[in-house]
Amino acid sequence: MIAYFSIGRAQALTPARIALSVPVINAHTHPLVAGPVFASHALDLQTFPTANPSPSSSAADAYAFTYLAPVGPPSVNVEAKLAGVDDAAVEGGADPIGDLHVRGPSVGQPLSVEQEPEEEELRGWRATGERAKVAPNGTFKVAVGSRA
């Protein structure tokens, strides 16, 4: 079994599985979490066609989420939510896109916090500073490095 951490492009995932002839796990990690935030299953062989970006998404989101490989659902004991989701786009049939927040026993608190914690942080939610998209099957695509 091979674990890729954010393999990136969706076009590379299926050929990697075929060429290597072993199960490939695609995972996403973050410095605040002691373990993977999201991880695909070794036998998850789903492939999805490249979707057209929703008209309400930004150009950066449209490019990032069109070509990224899904990183799976949230890992064990990790909750994930999106903040700042365009409700009108979701009601129109688009997949939710927003700022990624996580919480759970393996999620830490940043040491450089100098300001008062917000209400969400008091409930354990930590902003990762990344944008994410949720597919209808519960898998996430995370745009690494796109600060919220």
DSSP string, 69-113: PP-BSB-TT-EEEEES--HHHHHTTPPPEEEEEEESTTB---TT-
CATH superfamily of 2-110+120-143: Luciferase; Domain 3 (2.30.38.10)
At residue 90, does pLDDT exceed 80?
yes
Which residue type occupies 111?
L
Q: What is the pLDDT of residues 62-81, one digit of tens each?
A: 767 777 778 889 999 999 99
Q: At which residue do the structure tokens 């299926």 appear?
A: 14
Q: Look up the pTM and report it.
A: 0.78
pLDDT of residue 148: 47
CB 22 within 8 Å of CB 1: yes
